[in-house]
Amino acid sequence: MGMEETWDLVVIGSGGAAMAAGIEARSRGKSVLLVEHGVLGGTCLNVGCIPSKNLLAAAGRRHRALVNPFPGLPTGAGGVDLAALMAQKQELIDRLRQAKYTDVAEAHGFPVMYGHARFVDEQTLEVDGERVAGAAYIVATGSAAHIPALPGMDTIDPLTSTTAMELQDIPSSMVVLGGGYVGLEQAQLWSQLGVAVTLVGRLAPHAEPEVADVLRTVFADDGITVVEERAVALERTADGAVLVRTERGAQLTGQRLLVATGRHANTDDLGLDDAGVHTDDRRFITVDAHQRTSNPRIFAAGDVSGAPQYVYVAAQTGHAAAAGALGRPTTVDYRGLPSVTFTTPQLASAGLTEQQALAAGHECDSRVLDAQDIPRSLANRDTRGTLKVVVDAHTRKILGVHAALDGAGDVMLAATYAIKFGLTVDDLADTWAPYLTMSEALRICAGLFRSDMPTSCCA
Ligand SMILES: Cc1cc2nc3c(=O)[nH]c(=O)nc-3n(C[C@H](O)[C@H](O)[C@H](O)COP(=O)(O)OP(=O)(O)OC[C@H]3O[C@@H](n4cnc5c(N)ncnc54)[C@H](O)[C@@H]3O)c2cc1C
């Protein structure tokens, strides 16, 4: 890794986008170096997907034991040893870092250099002050939790999803700011571990209204207070707790505050201005459809490029950026893109909401299936759920599928296939769906476009 060597590609970061770029470059027989100033693996592994889904699985296990709907089968749950829970989470992260990052980089044949990368001009990158030469570069530096500058924020010590998932002691109560997917997951996670949670902010603002309504009901049932207003000021109370004031004058208190109001791009101290790389008004790097920045030698991928913040998007944009940087411009196909919020029930979608379909110029038609009409939900004795299918009224092709259901995320795989490969609602209605799976909801809902008469088992 010497100064004299020129790499075909140098990638800043070691998260999902950077790893994909490294793999892509090696598959094309090119030399590639990753540069990381923190821990190998980036957000998803260290502070994002993996720890949150692991802890949600644990908290959900406790919750199911406490609120078992089956008579004649008493269950219960004891206290929570948070330090032990956090230790198993860390063990999982460390194991996956080795198996999915260290070993993978080695197998594909690309090194990772540790240090802070920064451009000094349009051609030159330095890592901790040492020149590292690449024929092309990819910025894959990700994003980090953003703390809004609300009055009084400086008087308290707010948690983010990152620091909350490192707590060793359970707080008695918590106010969560933000009802996007990170806020929803954190609110339910801590609630299910026994914390009294208040969520401040619009709940699932981008979800279909029918879907968001399900989560409203479930959060209310589970004792999570939801205040769908904007927080305007914060205060530290005499006993060290946090008081949040909302736009309409509500005052909410919690022992801790967890901020989940969005993430900012990691673009500070990267020398982007010196390199002639343009950013937008939120400091995300501006890229074209090939992930190219305003500097033709520099590409960007993943969260930092303003792409939807999912690790599979980071990976696809990483592949495209590497292919482009190595002379094969490629675009990412976003048709049918799925997204999942891993609450119970999961909120999940693929493709367009009704509003997005209308905005895109479709004349559309939609049907909503209540979980009362889904055999799996009835068998589970939990009918708080819904699934909505949006189609083009003329072609009858599926444009979007949205659900709040146990396992909704898995249902979306079929929805993504349907959207990407242009299936019609009749294709779905006329195709097998295994009885008593949640994905059967897709077939039943497709049937509603033909008739709203009740269905018998599979008929
Ligand atoms: C709580 C939470 C839960 C999530 N859950 C999911 C989920 O379930 N499913 C899903 O798909 N997505 C999830 N995400 C989103 C997902 O984690 C991100 O979209 C994805 O990890 C972004 O990958 P990336 O490669 O763009 O950036 P990152 O993974 O953030 O990697 C960027 C890397 O660049 C390094 N870096 C930054 N600046 C420099 C520099 N100047 N020099 C050297 N190195 C630098 C950083 O240290 C970091 O390691 C979650 C996110 C959060 C916060």
On the question of pLDDT at 14 being above 80, the answer is yes
Which tens digit of pLDDT belongs to each residue from 269-293? 999 999 999 999 999 999 999 999 9
Residue 331 belongs to some domain of the structure: no
Q: Are residues 79 and 154 in the same domain?
A: no
Q: Which of 334, 333, 304, 326 is nearest to 21 (CA)?
A: 326
Taking the centre of ligand 1 as the mean of its atom positions, its distance from the CA of residue 13, in whole angstroms, is 9
Q: Which of 311, 340, 346 to mutate to test the pocket of ligand 1 (most atoms within 8 A of CB)?
A: 311
Taking the centre of ligand 1 as the mean of its atom positions, its distance from the CA of residue 68, in whole angstroms, is 36
Ligand 1, pocket residues at CB < 6 Å: 12-18, 35-38, 42-44, 48-49, 52-53, 116-117, 140-142, 161, 182, 266, 270, 302-304, 309-312, 314, 342
Q: Of all atoms in ligand 1, which is nearest to the CA of residue 305? A: 26
Residue with tokens 């989560």: 215
User: Could you write out the DSSP letters of every residue in 167-229?
Assistant: -SS--SEEEEE--SHHHHHHHHHHHHTT-EEEEES-SSTTS-HHHHHHHHHHHHHTT-EEE-S
Q: Are residues 14 and 118 in the same domain?
A: yes
Give the CA diameter of the chain: 74
pLDDT at 107: 98
User: Could you write out the DSSP letters of every residue in 21-56?
Assistant: HHHHHHHTT--EEEEESS-TTHHHHHTSHHHHHHHH
Residue 54 belongs to some domain of the structure: yes
Element (H, E) at 293: none
Q: Are residues 269 and 251 in the same domain?
A: no
79: Cβ contacts below 8 Å, ≥ 6 apart: 194
Q: Helix, strand, coil: what percent of the chain each, to 5?
A: 35, 25, 40
Q: Is 410 left (phi over 0), alpha (psi -120 to 50) or beta?
A: alpha
Q: Which of 44, 182, 337 to mutate to test the pocket of ligand 1 (most atoms within 8 A of CB)?
A: 44
Q: Are residues 273 and 185 in the same domain?
A: no
Output phi, psi for 355, to 5 deg.
-60, -45
CB 415 within 8 A of CB 398: yes
The Cα–Cα gap between 247 and 265 comes to 27
Cα 341 to Cα 53, 199, 309, 366, 408: the distances in Å are: 10, 16, 12, 22, 9
pLDDT at 454: 82
pLDDT at 4: 55
Q: Which of 24, 309, 340 to mutate to test the pocket of ligand 1 (most atoms within 8 A of CB)?
A: 309
pLDDT at 375: 96
Q: Are residues 414 and 275 in the same domain?
A: no
pLDDT at 452: 86
Q: Are residues 177 and 243 in the same domain?
A: yes
On the question of pLDDT at 1 being above 80, the answer is no
Residue 456 belongs to some domain of the structure: no
Q: Are residues 134 and 11 in the same domain?
A: yes
Q: Are residues 381 and 398 in the same domain?
A: yes
Q: Interior CA angle at 75 toward 69 and 78, to 5°?
A: 125
Q: Are residues 321 and 426 in the same domain?
A: no
Q: What is the mean pLDDT of residues 52-64?
A: 98
Which tens digit of pLDDT belongs to each residue from 122-168? 999 999 999 999 999 999 999 999 999 999 999 999 999 999 999 99
On the question of pLDDT at 457 being above 90, the answer is no
- pTM exceeds cut of 0.85: yes
Residue 200 belongs to some domain of the structure: yes
Strands (E), 37-124: 112-114, 117-119
pLDDT at 431: 97
Residue type, 404: A
Mean pLDDT of the chain: 97
Q: Are residues 106 and 219 in the same domain?
A: no
On the question of pLDDT at 244 being above 80, the answer is yes
Which tens digit of pLDDT belongs to each residue from 187-206? 999 999 999 999 999 999 99
For the CA atoms of 435, 341, 16, 330, the dihedral, rounded to the nearest 10 degrees, stands at: 70
The Cα–Cα gap between 296 and 275 comes to 10
Q: How confident is the model at residue 456 (pLDDT cuts 50, 70, 90)?
A: confident
Which tens digit of pLDDT belongs to each residue from 389-441? 999 999 999 999 999 999 999 999 999 999 999 999 999 999 999 999 999 99
Q: Are residues 163 and 187 in the same domain?
A: yes
103: Cβ contacts below 8 Å, ≥ 6 apart: none
Structural domain harbouring 350: 338-448
The Cα–Cα gap between 369 and 441 comes to 8
Q: Which of 419, 407, 422, 271 is nearest to 340 (CA)?
A: 407
Which residues contribute to the annotated binding site for NAD(+)?
Answer: 178-185, 262
On the question of pLDDT at 316 being above 80, the answer is yes
Instruction: Report the number of distinct structural domains present in the chain.
Output: 3
